[in-house]
Amino acid sequence: MKVLIHDDAESAIEHTAQLIAARLRRQPDAVLGLATGGTMEAVYARLIAAHRAGEVSFAKARSFNLDEYVGLPPDHPMSYWAYMRQHLFDHVDMAPGAAALPRGDAADPETEAASYEEAIVAAGDIGLQLLGLGANGHIGFNEPTSSLASLTRIKTLTRGTREANARYFDDPAEVPRLAITMGIGTILRADEVLLLAYGAGKADAAAAMIEGPLSAACPASALQMHRKATVVLDQAAAAKLA
């Protein structure tokens, strides 16, 4: 695991965006694994700026998002589909149909999860997987105690994760309890993994991910097993490293 510690969040974000753009320049038809959440908003803003400056194109790329809330259709304003349109897809040149997220409103979410996993395999697996880090060490919605070999499936969100995500909903009671998420095994098959975390709220999880034992208690510690994982932190998120 390569750990890059930047002085501040701005610089960590900029570096992450540059690594994604570099992969797309090297491999224009890359299969990207994308994440949502507050961490990624500034990364996507920089990629949009790079696209507008003619520095990066998504025209040949494909993408699979990590996760989606069960019960939310793609046009629901709090769905991850809506997030991705707002923060990236509507502003870059991705081809229609090239982006995939699990369907939160699928009649049978378990079948949807299995088909999503099959679609990732059929695409040749993820080339570059972008990840944020939950304060409890989750990646995707693989909450603590998730199997380190798990594939795309339904997960129950912990109370802490629902509270963290309640900021996006008018009423905290509206935060879904279930999500479809790529598994840790799915993520580990990616050719390259790039995790970004900044801010003091991520310091405990970052230390457990990097220096803690490999354990389902900290799902992100599974990245210790990945051959090409890069973790980008700011000083605040790195504060609890030895």
- CA–CA separation, 41 vs 15, rounded Å? 14
Cβ at position 54, least distance to ligand F6R in Å: 28
Nearer residue to ligand F6R within complex by CB, 16 or 36? 36
The DSSP H or E segment spanning 75 is none
Say how many Å lie between the first and final Cα of the chain, rounded: 16
Query: Which of 73, 82, 86 is closest to 44 using CA atoms?
Result: 86
- CA–CA separation, 96 vs 46, rounded Å? 22
Give all strands of the β-sheet with 178-181 in edge-to-edge order: 67-69, 178-181, 153-156
Are 187 and 33 in contact, with CB atoms under 8 Å apart? yes
Single out the residue of 16, 36, 63, 150 in contact with ligand F6R (rule: CB under 6 A): 36
Are 81 and 61 in contact, with CB atoms under 8 Å apart? no
Say which amino acid occupies 227.
Answer: R
Please give the positions annotated as active site: 67, 136, 138, 143
Nearer residue to ligand F6R within complex by CB, 3 or 60? 3
Nearer residue to ligand F6R within complex by CB, 33 or 127? 33
Single out the residue of 37, 104, 127, 137 in contact with ligand F6R (rule: CB under 6 A): 37
- CA–CA separation, 13 vs 198, rounded Å? 9
| Token pair recorded at residue 100 | 């995939």
* Binding segment (CB under 6 A) for ligand F6R, from list 29-37, 93-101, 210-218, 230-238: 29-37
- x/- map, 121-140, ligand F6R, by CB under 6 A: -----------xxx---xxx
* Binding segment (CB under 6 A) for ligand F6R, from list 7-15, 35-43, 103-111, 219-227: 35-43
Single out the residue of 30, 31, 43, 66 in contact with ligand F6R (rule: CB under 6 A): 66
Cβ at position 126, least distance to ligand F6R in Å: 13
Cβ at position 181, least distance to ligand F6R in Å: 7
Say which amino acid occupies 138.
Answer: H
Interface with ligand F6R: number of residues (CB under 6 A): 14
- CA–CA separation, 197 vs 45, rounded Å? 16
Residue 150 binds ligand F6R (CB under 6 A):
no
Nearer residue to ligand F6R within complex by CB, 106 or 142? 142
Residue 17 binds ligand F6R (CB under 6 A):
no
Contact residues for ligand F6R (CB under 6 A)?
Answer: 35-39, 66-67, 132-134, 138-141
